[in-house]
Copies of this chain bind each other. A is one copy, B any other.
Amino acid sequence: MKVKKEFAVIGLGRFGGSIVRSLTEQGMEVMAIDINEDRVNEFASIATQAVIADTTDENVLKSLGIRNFDHVIVAIGDNIQSSILTTIIMKELGVEHITVKAQNDYHEKVLRKIGADHVVHPERDMGRRIAHYIVSTNVLDYLELSEEYSIVEVMVNDILAGHTLVELDIRAKYGLNIVAIKRGKEIIVSPLANAPLELNDILIIIGADTDINRFEKKVLVE
């Protein structure tokens, strides 16, 4: 059993570049690959290794020992052909786990057919997240648990501030559970039922989307 997983990221745009930085911050070994020299230079001091390479060339991928990586992320966007070809070659070479950024639904379909293990749509997914929280300016972030359940962050406004959880009785009235309260930098897990909420506290709430919407409409109206 290897202790550390080894990652390679192909394509160092905003998305791929962010993955390289974040994996490195988490202490992982990351090879950063791009066809563009300037982009590679940007990551020379960040990644474990930074390599200029055209990953649509099978021999190049072989010489990089690509099949020894535990997980390769293909973050080539606009050039859909290169993204597909890179993925096909890596499958043939036996790379264990491949995650690919898709530009659209057709691209995703092709990627799945050729055996990509995981297909991601960063712009689309982030668009959805942002659309969710701008609908109610009080909802700051959310995690979609299923089609119908979410965890949301809701800011305490004048209407809620000063009241205790017992008084508000959100569980009985809305079927929602308060998982935690964020107060400044502090996170209060299992908050006390009889402590008053403070203005700008952030409630971490779990529940059905319909109940969350009901709560937002009732309690967070401006």
Contact = CB atoms under 8 A, between A and B. Distances in A.
B222 A134 contact: no
B127 A151 contact: no
Nearest to A126: B122
B19 A127 contact: yes
Interface of A: 1, 5, 7, 13-19, 21-23, 26, 28, 71, 73, 75, 97, 99, 103-104, 120-128, 130-132, 134-135, 137, 141-143, 145-149, 151, 153, 177, 179-180, 182, 185, 187, 189-190, 204, 206-207, 221-222
B182 A15 contact: no
B177 A190 contact: yes
Rank and list the top 9 A-B pairs by shortest CB-CB distance, nearest first: A18-B127, A22-B131, A14-B123, A122-B126, A15-B123, A143-B143, A149-B187, A18-B124, A19-B127
A189 to B, nearest CB: 6
Copies in the complex: 2
A125 B7 CA distance: 19
Contacts of A75: 127
Contact of A142 (B103, B130, B134, B143): B143
Nearest to A222: B1
Given A180-B206, A189-B206, A222-B1, A28 B135 contact: yes
B146 A185 contact: yes
7 contacts: A19-B130, A21-B131, A22-B127, A73-B134, A122-B127, A145-B204, A177-B190
A125 B137 CA distance: 19
Contacts of A207: 189
B145 A182 contact: yes
